[in-house]
Structure 1
Amino acid sequence: MTILQSEIAVGSEQYEANKAALLVQLEEVRVIQNKGLEKSYAAKPKFDKKGKILPHERVRLVLDADSPFIELCGLVGYNMHDDKDGSDAGGGIIAGIGFVSGVRCLVSASNSAIKGGTIAPMGVQKTLRLQKIALEQKLPMVTLAESGGANLNYAAEVFTSGGTTFANQARMSAAGIPQLSVVHGNATAGGAYQPGLSDYVITVRKQTEMLLAGPPLLLAATGEIATAEELGGAEMHAQIAGTAEYLAENDADGIRIAREVFEHLNWKEQTKTIDIRYKEPRYSAEELLGIIPADPKQPLNMKEVVARLVDDSDFLEFKPEYDSHTVSGWAKLGGLNIGIITNNGPITPQGAAKTAQFIHLCEQTNRPLLFLHNTTGFMVGTDAEQNGIIKHGSKLIQAVANATVPKISIVVAGSYGAGNYAMCGRSLSPDFIFAWPNSHVAVMGSAQAGKVLRIVAEGKQKASGMEPNEQMLDFLEQSTAMKLEQQSTALFNTAMLHDDGIIDPRDTRKVLIFLLQTVYEAEHRQLNSSKFGVSRF
């Protein structure tokens, strides 16, 4: 047993300054999240008048009471397309992993309280990410549908990827992953194929409108006159077309039926039991707030973070005497054995070689990998180049890319350049990746980028025989640095779907335990696949 000993002076002036800075960053995220909630709940009178339940309440009702729920991609699309302040962020979808009738599953709900649940480009990308998670983690999927379909202002950006979401549904069914849709309202044109491609469909009397062409389009295209109820009403689909398996009386009844279907899936009965006996860390999660330096240029000992995440603060470091910049070792988290990789600085040739070997050892014994990002990237300079930083760095990236064990990433602080790849950033396809509100991800530091462009521009001026224009060079350096700083923040990256969401550092252990249990179940579940999936005849 190797217990980590903390050297943090809890309550010191520096600790309190760090804590205050991180709380400000966390509050910025909370304010944006609340704008979306407030805008959604502002539609409650309209929903009440129609006898409907708000989308957020639908999610709450379908989930088991007092069960854990991890939201996914909650701020995707922030400040993009039509979003101006975060109130339209989320891609028109409320989604996450939770429990329905005891079954761990992925829940997705159209946020029809905002713009009728229409989908902007980032909403389609979010759907693709949700489907990838469901397929990889073998999670049944519940969709609470009520959407006007594609946001026509961005139809060209939505069309092709939208078709991919339908193809994914077909593949999920063939893989043996159950999909259930409750159609709470409008599901028109392409939107009708989402429930149509589900394995179970529940329609809601006097609310469902699931049709390829509404009355106006039908009249314009064919001259036929028909009502929406005749074309795509709940009763028609349940009693005549046979598209729906169940007919609900209202929103709540539709959700009740969905929960009952999941009760009879025979899914949780096949789940391998996890031994959940474990010890809590010896240090409080609350202390994580004061550990991260308010000034990102200040060093951070990531073992202090590890000590507040792993069971009993017990961490067996691998090769502790060989390169101190990259730290790796074994621990238990929620009673499950894992390998941890993190950074106390840039990745050196020695650190890259050590980490690649560590990944091979975890692969040998099927231990999931947890990456805790805090790196400026790969070491540069003559010494690093001559010691094979390209060779060893490439082999590290190769090891990360080809590792078959589950991989989870938490972007704790900075994650720059190819160091982000080596630490299993989004492009290396981790099973899950979340970020802290203070984190930064970019090709390089903003100040560094500004100086690089200044040097290049100054060189061009001198090469052409010009005297360096200091005013122009100052502007170029400062504007470049400002742009990269804005494009490296946690909010920018989560908006671009570079992670699965921003989390409160204090919740990291709980989130990780939930995610590790999710990947554990996936590894031990045998799906009953078929060639074409479930069909309606």
Structure 2
Amino acid sequence: MSRLDTSGDDYLARREAMLAKLAELDAEQAKAVAGGGGKYVDRHRARGKLLARERIELLVDPDSAFLELSPLAAWGSDFPVGASVVTGIGVVEGVECVLVANDPTVRGGSSNPWTMRKTLRAADIAFENRLPLINLVESGGADLPTQKEIFIPGGRIFRDLTRLSAAGIPTIALVFGNSTAGGAYVPGMSDHVVMVKERAKVFLGGPPLVKMATGEEADDESLGGAEMHARVSGLADYLAADEHDALRIGRRIVKGLNRRGSGVSPGVVRGPLYDEDELLGIVPEDLRIPFDPREVIARVVDGSEFDEFKPLYGGSLVTGWARLHGHPIGILANARGVLFSEEAQKAAQFIQLANQVRVPLVFLQNTTGYMVGKDYEQGGIIKHGAMMINAVANSSVPHITIVMGASYGAGNYGMCGRAYDPRFLFTWPSAKSAVMGPAQLAGVLSIVGRAAAQARGQVYDEEGDAAMRQLVEAQIEAESLPFFLSGRLYDDGVIDPRDTRTVLGLCLSVVGNAAVGNALVPEPSGFGVFRM
């Protein structure tokens, strides 16, 4: 039973604060959607080409959901928001697939360090969840001024394609334009390759480089054109008449893969009893104020039904069972921020139980970390925290994490932060994450500096200390905000709290693709598909 007072002043203030954060989120995401801006979008369209998101929209099934990933990648860096590539999960011919689409309106679709990280994250998701990977290719290759950050780690993109294929996970490349230098290995290492006639250009070295390296004169078409690759080199498996034809062929390839989506678990799916819109007024703007995660759970799970586990023990952590869009789940949710020994032991036991019955775990984070102090250290907080972290690290069921509020210190680890490889991790605009709170971190530095000055017999500079604390607090506050963290791909996206149920439902459907015993998932062959 919900106890949320939706007419109270606290609720209304929290709602207004969340709406303001969502307006900021919309503005930042609009930058990614805008691509390279009007000038380059118009130039692209004048060439008769579709935009990256238009290609995705035509590829996926009509009226199906597309879960975009990492839309704020590169936020706060020297590169455009979105990192010149669109990634996400969409349904093609009834099959959930990972899609990676270069955005040629942003610096010709060239890859910068954030493009690489975003692309690698998409490949990881495809591998973990056994989803076909479809690359919609039009890229000028590496952003050469940043080659030192791309060249060596970027080789993993091509390694991942062969590993996916070797694991029996299909890889498809639809080539719409240039695919140059290292980018030529994307179609070169994909199982299925479609090239658009008179548009696709795939070569290790373009005409200028060939001229410089060998003195040979060659034009684009004879060196790497779609018809040449379809008729002579054999790199292209299909020659498409135009972009729409390439997308049609791509859909037919997926249809012939003999795969199925995980679908929804049997049974009638009931929505929550409470309005998802009320999620906007639950999290306080001041994250030091606790809130009851049961109010979140009641607005997310099927029928608002939650079977709480150990409700009278370890009250700072709520654990229990529910269903979401028909999928059974276990939930771990922070109630009062701090994790004590009881909460850590309770979590470890609950995680073991979920693994026994093979139920995915959903972590709802709002934690300041594990409790510190003499009594707690003597009571074994380190070994109990280690027990919880051990359980999280070695749990073999899928994990999905939502950061609702604070995510500080080792609590981030124990509640399955990014370092612990949840299948998906999303944050709310209200979230903050760092090694500790800004005031605490600045205070620790102040105490250490004061002790060092005393040890040297020096008078401590109080004015300098105040300036240092102010500077450090401002820096840590800025670096703990969700846009900053999402820009560095520490999550898979910042989401509207009202979309939490939908996002979790899509993720649970996706992780079902890797379920043991799916007869339509082929056994690994031991090697990737060789090009002819």
Provide TM-score, normalisation by structure 1.
0.96
Q: Which amino acid aligns with 1:163?
A: G
Partner of 2:281: 290
Q: Does residue 105 of the first structure (1) align with residue 97 of the second (2)? A: yes
Any conservation in 1 of the 2:438–2:477 contact (CA below 8 Å)? yes
Please list, as runs of the form range in 1=range in 2, the aligned pairs for 1:229-308 lying within 5 A after superposition.
229-268=221-260, 274-275=265-266, 277-308=268-299
Any conservation in 2 of the 1:276–1:334 contact (CA below 8 Å)? no
Q: Does residue 318 of the first structure (1) align with residue 315 of the second (2)? A: no
Query: 1:44 deviation in Å?
Result: 3.3
- 3-state DSSP class of the match of 1:448? helix
Provide TM-score, normalisation by structure 2.
0.97
The structure 2 residue matched to 1:531, chosen from 519, 522, 526, is: 526
Any conservation in 1 of the 2:131–2:513 contact (CA below 8 Å)? no
How well do the aligned residues superpose, as a CA RMSD in angstroms? 1.3
Any conservation in 1 of the 2:18–2:430 contact (CA below 8 Å)? yes
Q: Which amino acid aligns with 1:256?
A: R
Q: Which amino acid aligns with 1:77?
A: A
C-alpha distance in 2 between matches for 1:384 and 1:413: 24
C-alpha distance in 2 between matches for 1:459 and 1:408: 43
Query: 1:441 deviation in Å?
Result: 0.9
The structure 2 residue matched to 1:115, chosen from 107, 111, 118, is: 107
1:130-153, Cα deviation, whole Å (9 max, x unpaired): 111101100001111000111111
The structure 2 residue matched to 1:10, chosen from 6, 27, 38, is: 6
Any conservation in 2 of the 1:18–1:292 contact (CA below 8 Å)? yes
Partner of 1:46: 43
Query: 1:312 deviation in Å?
Result: 1.2
C-alpha distance in 1 between matches for 2:473 and 2:193: 51
Which runs of 5 or more residues in structure 2 are unaligned? none
Q: Which amino acid aligns with 1:191?
A: G
Q: Does residue 309 of the first structure (1) align with residue 300 of the second (2)? A: yes
Q: In the comparison of the two structures, how many residue pairs are matched?
A: 527
Any conservation in 2 of the 1:322–1:350 contact (CA below 8 Å)? yes
C-alpha distance in 2 between matches for 1:125 and 1:201: 24
Q: Which amino acid aligns with 2:468?
A: L
Query: 1:36 deviation in Å?
Result: 2.4
Query: 1:99 deviation in Å?
Result: 0.6
Query: 1:11 deviation in Å?
Result: 2.2
Partner of 1:65: 62
Query: 1:521 deviation in Å?
Result: 2.6
Any conservation in 2 of the 1:52–1:250 contact (CA below 8 Å)? no
C-alpha distance in 1 between matches for 2:53 and 2:437: 38
Query: 1:40 deviation in Å?
Result: 4.3
Partner of 1:331: 322
C-alpha distance in 1 between matches for 2:88 and 2:34: 19
Moved over 6 A (4+): none
Partner of 2:461: 469
Q: Which amino acid aligns with 1:359?
A: I
> Percent identity, aligned pairs only?
44
Please list, as runs of the form range in 1=range in 2, the aligned pairs for 1:57-456 lying within 5 A after superposition.
57-80=54-77, 82-83=78-79, 88-268=80-260, 274-275=265-266, 277-344=268-335, 345-456=337-448
Any conservation in 1 of the 2:263–2:509 contact (CA below 8 Å)? no
C-alpha distance in 2 between matches for 1:528 and 1:328: 36
C-alpha distance in 2 between matches for 1:276 and 1:238: 48
Query: 1:17 deviation in Å?
Result: 0.7
Any conservation in 2 of the 1:41–1:54 contact (CA below 8 Å)? no
C-alpha distance in 1 between matches for 2:256 and 2:361: 34
Query: 1:306 deviation in Å?
Result: 1.0
C-alpha distance in 1 between matches for 2:210 and 2:107: 24
C-alpha distance in 1 between matches for 2:353 and 2:95: 33
Any conservation in 1 of the 2:12–2:281 contact (CA below 8 Å)? yes
Q: Which amino acid aligns with 2:14?
A: N
- 3-state DSSP class of the match of 2:339? coil
- 3-state DSSP class of the match of 1:532? coil
